[in-house]
Structure 1
Amino acid sequence: MAGHAYATLVGTRRERAPRAPGGPRRAGVVWPLATVGAVFTAAQLLLVRPGLGLGWDETVYVSQVSGHAPAAFFSAPRARGVSLLVAPVASWSSSTPLLRVYLALLSGLALYLALRAWRPLFPVRVLTLAGTLFASLWITLFYGPQAMPNYWVAIGALTATACTLRAVTAPSDRTALWGLAASGALMAWMRPMDAALAALPLLVLVLLRRRWTVLAVLLGGLAAGAVEWVVEAYTAYGGLLNRLSDGSDIQGGLGWHLAVADQLRSLGGRTLCRPCTGTLPGPAVTLWWFALPLLALLGLAVAVRARRAAATLLPLASAVMAAFPYLFMIGYAAPRFLLPAYALLAIPVADALCRLTTTPGGARRPVATTLAVLALAAHLTVQLTVLLPLVDRTAAAHRDWSRTAATLHRLGVREPCLLTGHEAIPVAFYAGCSSAATTGHNANSTSTAIARTARHRPVATLVAPGDRLPDYARTWPSVRLGELRLYYAVPEGP
């Protein structure tokens, strides 16, 4: 019954893998998807490299569970899913390469499982291409081994969409129900608001089909992932509405902001575009971005013609909902924000490309196949052209933080210590210090408290050109660090 329902949903019979002598029947079905996950992991380790130091946001998430440095200030929009994800390594080891390897392996496995969830709905060739398209984006490769939430929201959304389609069509599919609960929890665990938006079309479908068990499972998974964030809102942020309001303020105030051009500017390798000024990248860098929605709509047209629109329309709707706030409601851009949309759009795009390159009888169209292969090669070239310089720039910036930390140690600013000023959060993590700010989104202290701390603990502040020197540091000695000036106070021992 379940197999017949899936066939009805996708409008085609499932592929059958030939039975290998003495081997499992489904081995031929699994290995292309497993290969995508394995190659994705290998590409991360080769191109992004395990030695890449932790970024600003990563230091916030990792510091919550690390014994290397005190926990950094945790602002209202953040959720603790990433901290729990890295805890199996970061709680006992300060090795960044070990953490990178762990996350690369985990992200490759997660991609395989997400693609595997779609196996009853699409042929394996479509899923293999979809995984390849998503995994080959420079954004996916760059953030796969990082302690950041967006890739994991993407994996959760991709899996939840497949499991919803399967559970709605075949309620006896227990694997789909378990997968839906786990993927819903994963999304909400990482970013509750993103999870709610990506899940909205899933909830609409479930309600229209009146699948109350599926509805309970989906809502239960989302609630299980979000419960810690909601409880923390009341214990640390003055209530849920206050936390949402603070999160909106930190993001510049949610409202109508046309950020499409900002996202385009970020495609050239800008991990955070705030303020987002400057020229747009060349057409070679942005062409795939414009082609993506067109190919997705073509995939929908193909699906409607084949009378299997649901399996394509649902990921499209979830992608639109996941992308909408980051294109039209915030005044800045980061390419990682759209990772859930890219993962969901990969399914209809891959389906469209596979249909364009094969005849109704399944034979290859030589010209279309050749053009598709050339386009894929050009796509990979463009992604590497953006990725490799970005990795080099990022590594250099992180080395600067490490050198600043070494200078702090040389001057006697060692743990237990406190750091304030320019880029205090990441530098403090590298130095093993606490961080503090008196203004801005990360404000968690006062000038009086910092001055009092300096009487019995080493304290330092980093001042960038044009920044005002805090009153508490006016009498401290200082050294120049490139364009910055480091002021420090080291109390005499007893």
Structure 2
Amino acid sequence: MTIAPTRIPPGLLAPHPATRRVPWPELVAIAYAVVQLALVVPHLGLGWDETVFVSQVDPRTPAAYFSAPRSRGISFLVAPVLAVTGSTTALRVALALLSAGALYAAYRVWRPLIGPGRTALASLLFAGLWTSLLYGPQAMPNLWVALSSVAAAGWFLRAMRPRAPRGTLIALGATVAAATSFRLSDGVWLALPLLASCAAVRRWRRPAPLLAIVAGLALGGAEWVVEAYARWGGVGNRLAVSSATQGGMGAQWAVGMAWRSLDGPLLCRPCRVGLAHPELTLWWLALPVLVLAACLLALRTRRRSIIWLPALCGAALSVPYLLLIGYSAPRFLLPAYALLALPLATQAADTYQSLHRPRARFLLAAAAVVLLALHLAGQYRVLVHNEADARATTGAYRSAAHGLRRLGLTPPCLVTGAHAPPVGYYAGCASANVSGNNRNITAQALLRRAAHDPTAALTAKDSGPPRYARDWTPHPLPGTGLTAYVRSSSSTP
């Protein structure tokens, strides 16, 4: 397959007077921040994965176990805020504002390539998704991979233009490094179509862009590789542990799971949920069809690369979550959505401009506005529902932590068992587990620590104590569905 080099019509680089008067990309970013601040920030506590990432750099709490598949980019991102305050609200506000700025900056890279109108539409298509709004103020990596990938693809195309400034190569490497630091595997999947394009397009066969991509991968993955040798004995061992933690990476058909979990739950593992509102998933089913149509229509233009490259990168970033993993979460496909919004917006605008009759233009614009309004209304409906579910979950974590403190668990203390990382974080305790994906201690070592630190083992209500805590005192934690088994002074280690 051959991708034509980027050629921008001269008129595209000069904004239309109407576009110059209305700063649509800036307005989309502002609206993205406002919706987050109004609907998500005031109500949402820290979720399970967030407490793991945040605890790594929060000086007020012990660090939770950091499992093999994780990357530390999001921890580094929130570290400056946590150095100043431990307030969840302050962290949420900072991330909401930062994500809105990053949304604008990432799509701003594309403005010289597709123009401000198309840039604004693409960013709106992505920012209007309920997953983008819910995870904008959260300390989770997927949204940041998405925005880094959008910027990286744009800088790649700009670096391939004749007499491109050297700064474009630096920006390309930096954005690939950013995506890789947030999730190593996603950085690799992003780099693959970029490297393949360097090889496939004759005029792109230059060493500088290739070296920039490779350097970005190396820089973004350096910490992960160093930690692989320090904690797991090498990259191969860490990859093997990562695969086991995720249930075994391999050829698996996860498209159905991704579709069924599209509107929630936030984590579908095991994924046996039914599809509650199929009408709200029509956009997802139409997405690959529309992107494929945009790619085919681009065959007749000189701007094939502007359509094809983000489509290829988006498809590549969806591969591990649709074909290689045995569970699903709506946030996994955020990088794909962010990239696929670009060919959709570009082709939609091109189709509109190709119409010469005013009536046809009016009808197309009216239909597009109606469909977009219906789509955003559906996304709002799903956002409210899932935000409420997330709020209830984090509220249960807080209630369990309050219950443990009433039982006398104060730092230094230890929480183990069900939901140990988030409950331990809220209680100010260390967390550890003797089994499962977060196993990081043996039962014997846990009992030795329990001999001198206040310790509680959490289990589901009425499920009975762990074997090592059979003589510990049970304390139901109302409103959480959990029972805490607390080691009393008479318990033997």
TM-score (norm 1): 0.93
Report the alpha carbon displacement of residue 394 of structure 1 after superposing the two structures with TM.
1.0
Q: Distance in 2 between the 1:117 and 1:34 partners?
A: 13
1:183 maps to which residue? 175
2:315 maps to which residue? 320
Residues 348-391 of structure 1: CA deviation (Å, up to 9, x unaligned)? 11122223333355967111111111100110011011110111
User: Compared with structure 1, are the counterparts of its residues 487 and 253 closer, same or farther at alpha carbon in structure 2 (3 Å cutoff)?
Assistant: same
2:133 aligns to what SS in structure 1? helix
**Greater shift after overlay, 292-301 or 150-159?**
292-301
CA contact (8 A) 1:359 1:365 kept: no
Report the alpha carbon displacement of residue 13 of structure 1 after superposing the two structures with TM.
3.2
Residues 135-177 of structure 1: CA deviation (Å, up to 9, x unaligned)? 0001111111110111111111111111111101234323422
Q: How does 1:279-290 map to 2 (within 5 A)?
A: 279-290=274-285
Residues 227-253 of structure 1: CA deviation (Å, up to 9, x unaligned)? 010111001111000000110111111
1:293 aligns to what SS in structure 2? helix
2:153 maps to which residue? 161
CA contact (8 A) 2:6 2:160 kept: no
1:393 maps to which residue? 389
User: Compared with structure 1, are the counterparts of its residues 220 and 469 closer, same or farther at alpha carbon in structure 2 (3 Å cutoff)?
Assistant: same
Report the alpha carbon displacement of residue 91 of structure 1 after superposing the two structures with TM.
2.6
2:465 maps to which residue? 469
Q: How does 1:336-415 map to 2 (within 5 A)?
A: 336-360=331-355, 365-415=361-411
2:484 maps to which residue? 486
Report the alpha carbon displacement of residue 396 of structure 1 after superposing the two structures with TM.
1.5
Amino acid at match of 2:125: L
CA contact (8 A) 1:299 1:352 kept: yes
**Greater shift after overlay, 200-209 or 404-413?**
200-209
Q: Which blocks of at least 5 consecutive residues in structure 1 are unaligned?
A: 1-5, 21-26
Q: Distance in 2 between the 1:362 and 1:156 partners?
A: 39
Residues 459-490 of structure 1: CA deviation (Å, up to 9, x unaligned)? 00111146452233222222212432111125
Q: Distance in 2 between the 1:82 and 1:213 partners?
A: 29
Amino acid at match of 2:486: Y
Amino acid at match of 1:370: A
User: Compared with structure 1, are the counterparts of its residues 149 and 279 closer, same or farther at alpha carbon in structure 2 (3 Å cutoff)?
Assistant: same
1:31 maps to which residue? 23
User: Compared with structure 1, are the counterparts of its residues 84 and 244 closer, same or farther at alpha carbon in structure 2 (3 Å cutoff)?
Assistant: same
1:106 aligned onto 2:98: yes
User: Compared with structure 1, are the counterparts of its residues 468 and 159 closer, same or farther at alpha carbon in structure 2 (3 Å cutoff)?
Assistant: same
Q: How does 1:104-183 map to 2 (within 5 A)?
A: 104-183=96-175
1:131 aligns to what SS in structure 2? helix
**Greater shift after overlay, 367-376 or 459-468?**
459-468
Report the alpha carbon displacement of residue 203 of structure 1 after superposing the two structures with TM.
1.0
User: Which of 55, 58, 61 is matched with 1:63 structurally?
Assistant: 55
Report the alpha carbon displacement of residue 185 of structure 1 after superposing the two structures with TM.
0.9
Q: Distance in 1 between the 2:362 and 2:355 partners?
A: 14
User: Which of 188, 193, 196 is matched with 2:185 structurally?
Assistant: 193
User: Which of 206, 209, 214 is matched with 2:198 structurally?
Assistant: 206
User: Which of 60, 71, 77 is matched with 1:79 structurally?
Assistant: 71
CA contact (8 A) 1:17 1:29 kept: no
CA contact (8 A) 1:233 1:240 kept: yes
CA contact (8 A) 1:50 1:96 kept: no
1:3 maps to which residue? none
User: Which of 413, 421, 432 is matched with 2:417 structurally?
Assistant: 421
1:293 maps to which residue? 288
2:33 maps to which residue? 41
Report the alpha carbon displacement of residue 122 of structure 1 after superposing the two structures with TM.
0.3
Q: Distance in 1 between the 2:304 and 2:488 partners?
A: 67
Q: Distance in 1 between the 2:17 and 2:133 partners?
A: 35
User: Which of 448, 455, 461 is matched with 1:459 structurally?
Assistant: 455
Residues 34-84 of structure 1: CA deviation (Å, up to 9, x unaligned)? 221111111111121244100000000000000221000000000110110
Q: Distance in 2 between the 1:360 and 1:301 partners?
A: 18
Amino acid at match of 2:313: S
Q: Distance in 1 between the 2:469 and 2:309 partners?
A: 57
1:352 aligns to what SS in structure 2? helix
Amino acid at match of 1:111: L
CA contact (8 A) 1:454 1:491 kept: no
Q: Distance in 1 between the 2:174 and 2:39 partners?
A: 30
1:23 maps to which residue? none
CA contact (8 A) 2:6 2:304 kept: no
User: Which of 203, 210, 215 is matched with 1:215 structurally?
Assistant: 210
Supply the RMSD in Å over aligned alpha carbons: 2.1
1:274 aligned onto 2:269: yes
CA contact (8 A) 1:75 1:442 kept: yes
Report the alpha carbon displacement of residue 220 of structure 1 after superposing the two structures with TM.
1.0
CA contact (8 A) 1:127 1:347 kept: yes
Q: Distance in 1 between the 2:348 and 2:276 partners?
A: 26
Q: Distance in 1 between the 2:207 and 2:237 partners?
A: 32
CA contact (8 A) 2:263 2:330 kept: no
1:307 aligns to what SS in structure 2? coil
TM-score (norm 2): 0.93
Q: Distance in 2 between the 1:255 and 1:348 partners?
A: 30
User: Which of 435, 442, 456 is matched with 1:446 structurally?
Assistant: 442
User: Which of 418, 428, 433 is matched with 1:437 structurally?
Assistant: 433
Identity between Structure 1 and Structure 2 (%): 45
1:245 aligned onto 2:245: no
User: Which of 250, 254, 274 is matched with 1:255 structurally?
Assistant: 250
Amino acid at match of 1:414: T
After TM superposition, the runs of 4+ consecutive aligned structure 1 residues lying more than 6 A away are none
2:485 aligns to what SS in structure 1? strand
CA contact (8 A) 1:79 1:192 kept: yes
1:9 aligned onto 2:7: yes
Q: Distance in 2 between the 1:65 and 1:328 partners?
A: 34
Amino acid at match of 1:31: P
Q: Distance in 2 between the 1:412 and 1:19 partners?
A: 67
Q: How many residues align?
A: 481
1:226 maps to which residue? 221
Residues 171-217 of structure 1: CA deviation (Å, up to 9, x unaligned)? 43234223212211101111111111111111122234212111111
Report the alpha carbon displacement of residue 280 of structure 1 after superposing the two structures with TM.
1.7
User: Which of 236, 243, 266 is matched with 2:231 structurally?
Assistant: 236
2:294 aligns to what SS in structure 1? helix
Amino acid at match of 2:35: A
User: Compared with structure 1, are the counterparts of its residues 29 and 163 closer, same or farther at alpha carbon in structure 2 (3 Å cutoff)?
Assistant: farther
CA contact (8 A) 2:57 2:75 kept: yes
